Amino acid sequence: MEKLKSYMTKCWQYEFVRTLICSIGLNMIIECLNQRSLVGFVMIVTNPIVFLYNTLILFATMSIAFICKRKLFVYGTVGFVWLLLAIINFVVLYSRKTPFTAMDIYLINDAIKVVPLYLNLFQMILIVIAVTGAIAGLVYLFIKAPRYTGKIGYAKKGMEFAVVIAMLYYATNLFLASGFLSKNFGNLANAYKTYGFAYSFSCSVVGRGIRKDNEYSSEYMNSLKETLDNKEAENSESHPNVIFLQLESFFDPNFVEGTKYSENPVPEFERLVRDYSSGYLSVPVFGAGTANTEFEVQTGMNMDDFGPGEYPYKTVMQTKICESMAYNLSELGYATHALHNNDGTFYDRYKIFSHLGYQTYTSIEYMQNIEKTPMGWAKDKILTSEIAKILDTTEESDYIYAISVQGHGDYPNDITDETELPIKVKGFFDESNKNAFRYYVNEVHEMDLFVKELTDYLSQRDEETVLVMYGDHLPGFAFDSKTLQNQDIYQTQYVIWSNFDMPNEKRDLQAYQLSAYVSYRLGINNGYINKFHQQFLETNQEPTEEYLKNLKILEYDLLYGDADIYNGKVPYVATQLQMGTDEIDITQMYNYNDTICIEGKNFNEYSSVLINDEAYSTEIVSDRLLRVSNHTLKPGDVVSVIQSGKDKIELSRVYQTYGE
């Protein structure tokens, strides 16, 4: 026993050993947070290879201290960063059911907007205090912790550091080759549990875009191009209006096993599913990540081919122009419009939609008389009048991509007013969230009423119209294969409604196939991704390995490669995106006593006045009158009216010079 103790004491003297032991302990804590249980403490026995590999990642980051004099500070800082990331992941998993990734850091501005919906003021204060305390602790450690005064021996310590990095490199390649690890995360939540937090989060840091396939070449693309060009098909001469309606967190609550309702929450949607073409839609996200379902539907690209947790809206689409349903239809003479009853800047849509071929984008900053839910989200029924407005203002056929928001989380547990929650729920499997689920069910019921209102309105128009509706993802409750009738948390439903006769077909689809399938049904076949999917859908049901490989290669060529499918030059040009359907205008302005009066049209609560580019407190009197108190205009003053949301990002501006 004494010999063992002496041996352990001797081993502890080596920095390499101390760092390894600390990394093991840190990984245990991190995995407890990641798995949301104490399983992290026994993972070294239950899943030793994955546990030791994740420990090696932590060890590699900790080993930076080998070549530093302020060793305790480096250990403390690295450990703090890893623990902070693990704690954030722990909190995020409770609110949205999708793990925390490096991509979420890119989305920090969007996240700040919705934090108050997931955390109360007390919780936010506690988090601020905790983070501030930890940072203060690190500062204290930097100042007070003993500094190594001896010779580091940079050659030796540098060699040790290099050995650790080499071990990590070879272990990564070995475990990827043997199947213990994977680069492709079809299910992000399962990947974090299967491969560990350190590895999964690290993949989200380094994994961006689509990896180049070894078979990618000009010859390969030319062969694929020839195959697609040989497909003989003519576009239909009929051009009905095409409306896609992405319903936020929408699904049929009747799919929840063992749950009963005082009345059917979604009778209209169920009728449409029965009477019109419909099926299950496999989406890339669960509980959150609207923009990625949106991206798949519009572009026909598979999110599985991108980096773990990546949002293309925040990465490649910032600079690239991409083939899309909007571009395909605009080639046929369609006017293209995006519509969303939420902030125009969310997910950078106000930038990205010009790269997807939209001519106009109407966000909440351009809407009037907005009714909101108890959680502050705009109710979806406003979309009916906005769709009507778009259809009425154009002579050509219209393509509208509408994104709803009413069903958005978080869902409160403390609203029990019978007038607000008329539909009662019994037998929900998660007792702690039964009131939250009841709130959700009642919001979905209102969304169902909106769907009926919209289809009733479109039925009365004398223009042929197709309306494609689907849920972007399931709401963030603790669903799994046992709690859902369809046994898949990555499935929603779609339905293709029309005010003219279309055969009623039942078919399950991937989200990235939906636009191509709708186009196929309408006799529209332009666009290479569109043709690619349609050629497969004609003869197949489930995606094959060859189909997915060729899709990935085609995606790479379009976004990262040489655009060989287009003979080397992308044919699409970014649009000059017009914000709002209705034109905002200034008709006249004048001084009245010590008040500036600005008359015009289509002002709303998001309008604000700038005078010579300086912002002034603005009173919105009506949609035709704005006032600025305690100020008067002088000849030559430039008066601007801008539209912006809570983040103050300017979306559009009109201006006039006073006295001209």
Q: What is the domain-level CATH number for residue 261?
A: 3.40.720.10
Both structure tokens of 625 = 């009158």
Residues 540 and 603 in one domain: no
* 452 within some domain: yes
Tell me the pTM.
0.84
| pLDDT band, very low/low/confident/very high, at 12 (cuts 50, 70, 90) | very low
For the ranges 81-85, 268-272, 381-385, 402-406, the lowest mean pLDDT is seen at: 81-85
Residues 474 and 534 in one domain: yes
- Give the chain's domain count: 3
Residues 29 and 116 in one domain: yes
* 145 within some domain: yes
The pLDDT tens digits for 271-318 are 999 999 999 999 999 888 899 999 999 999 999 999 887 889 988 999
Domain boundary among 548, 566, 596: 548
Residues 318 and 460 in one domain: yes
pLDDT tops 70 at residue 3: no
Cα 357 to Cα 143: distance, rounded to the nearest angstrom: 55
427-443 mean pLDDT: 94
* 305 within some domain: no
Range of the domain at 12: 2-206
| Cβ–Cβ < 8 Å for 103, 204 | yes
Residues 319 and 440 in one domain: yes
* 571 within some domain: no
The pLDDT tens digits for 393-408 are 999 999 999 999 999 9
pLDDT tops 60 at residue 319: yes
CA neighbor of 398 nearest in space, from 248, 244, 502: 244
Structure confidence at residue 358 (pLDDT): 98
CATH of the domain at 593: 2.60.40.10
Residues 202 and 243 in one domain: no
Residues 587 and 529 in one domain: no
Domain boundary among 494, 523, 548: 548
Domain boundary among 548, 563, 592: 548
* 304 within some domain: no
* 14 within some domain: yes
Structure confidence at residue 11 (pLDDT): 45
Residues 142 and 274 in one domain: no
The pLDDT tens digits for 558-595 are 999 999 999 999 999 999 999 999 999 999 999 999 99
* 572 within some domain: no
Residues 624 and 508 in one domain: no
* 352 within some domain: no
* 509 beta partners: 281
Residues 531 and 587 in one domain: no
What mean pLDDT value characterizes the chain?
A: 88
| Residues in CB range of 548: below 8 A, 6 or more apart | 302
Structure confidence at residue 476 (pLDDT): 86
CA neighbor of 160 nearest in space, from 66, 54, 75: 66
Residues 488 and 597 in one domain: no
Cα 618 to Cα 629: distance, rounded to the nearest angstrom: 8
pLDDT tops 60 at residue 162: yes
* 640 beta partners: 610, 655
Residues 372 and 491 in one domain: yes
